[in-house]
Structure 1
Amino acid sequence: MALSREQMAKRVACELKDGFYVNLGIGIPTLVANYVPDDISVMLQSENGLLGMGAFPTEEEIDADMINAGKQTVTARTGASIVDSAESFAMIRGGHIDLTVLGAFEVDAQGNIASWMVPGKLVKGMGGAMDLVAGAENIIVTMTHASKTGESKLLSKCELPLTGAGCIKRVLTDLAYLEIENGTFILKERAPGVSVEEIAEKTAGPLVIPDYVPEMAV
């Protein structure tokens, strides 16, 4: 069974390490803030100028002026800082983000990512994604494995305009966790109840399948 958005965010949160500075992109990545393990301390950064973002607020905690890059209301953890966008992007461009979690429309076997434009459709735009993929060494893309019409988002070559080239090494979808090496997707984990055959069928790019593919813990 495919993972829910919340389960995807929970699995990505397993990649967080104590002391990390982490940027969460718009969409599924924002949910990661709700699943930070209790035994570690991370600082979540939003490119609109919040360092130290907390989980989504309860109704009693909502502050309409406290928002993330997707204009969702958020909380600020103890020790948070609010800065202007120039300082926030200086942090991103200076390579001070330990992990970036992004959504995408497509990722290909060369590690290219397309996440900002679909010709003929109204999309919010680039945002900080181009800076993030250029300034971060450690990026996880989280997205559905296929589009609503069943077309694979894991391709041999991206068909949409690129956000960044050769920058993606890890992808977490609703069906699988994969790594990208030497021009191929390598299947590392599968969602509970999802078969290797289904993943292979919905992966358009070259796929390496090890002899044993464990189910991910979510």
Structure 2
Amino acid sequence: MDLAALRKSYEKAELSEEVAHANPLRQFERWLREAIEAQLPEPTAMTLATVGSDLRPSTRVVLLKGCDERGLVWYTNYDSRKGRELAGNPYAALQFHWVELERVVRIEGVVEKVSAEESDAYFASRPLDHRIGAWASPQSQVIDSRAALVANAARYAAQFRMNPPRPPHWGGYRLQPDTWEFWQGRKSRLHDRLRYRWQQGQWLRERLAP
């Protein structure tokens, strides 16, 4: 298989300063809505990048569960690798890749935990098996087998039945952006890249070379 010979021409759309919204959140909402309306698989999936105390970066895919002027929200296990890394270094990056639309959005900023009330409300909205799973999985830790994980789930299902409370080690994070970048694929690799940076109380928009 000749990977170096693989080529694709990006010709679906363009991103100009005249069309892009002056507020990056509004621009993101527009693109997210178009991804959802296009029925793309997992349009809210985003890659989360964190850096540990050893300065080694790590990435994983999480799902966007909220987005407003305060930032972008996802939920996870606080004791997971990402949780431990965010506890030591609260700066992180997110990336959406909507392949079918030839678009990428990159977001950088500082991360904080959402309120306990927000985490409680979202946890209560999850399907029962997902709530049990939050108790059953010691995320990112080595386990003996899948059978041990299933046994954990059965034990917590028997303990909590239909009303498991939110685990103290589980909840939400919110990334507060200070940088957004919108990438639209274009022909001849002359892609469109618009970056927004928060400076002196307003968003500065810049075009980057591809």
TM-score by length of 1: 0.27
The structure having more radius of gyration, on CA atoms, is: 2
Larger relative strand fraction: 2
TM-score by length of 2: 0.27
Whose RCO is larger (CA < 8 A, sep 6+)?
2
Q: Higher helix share goes to which structure?
A: 2
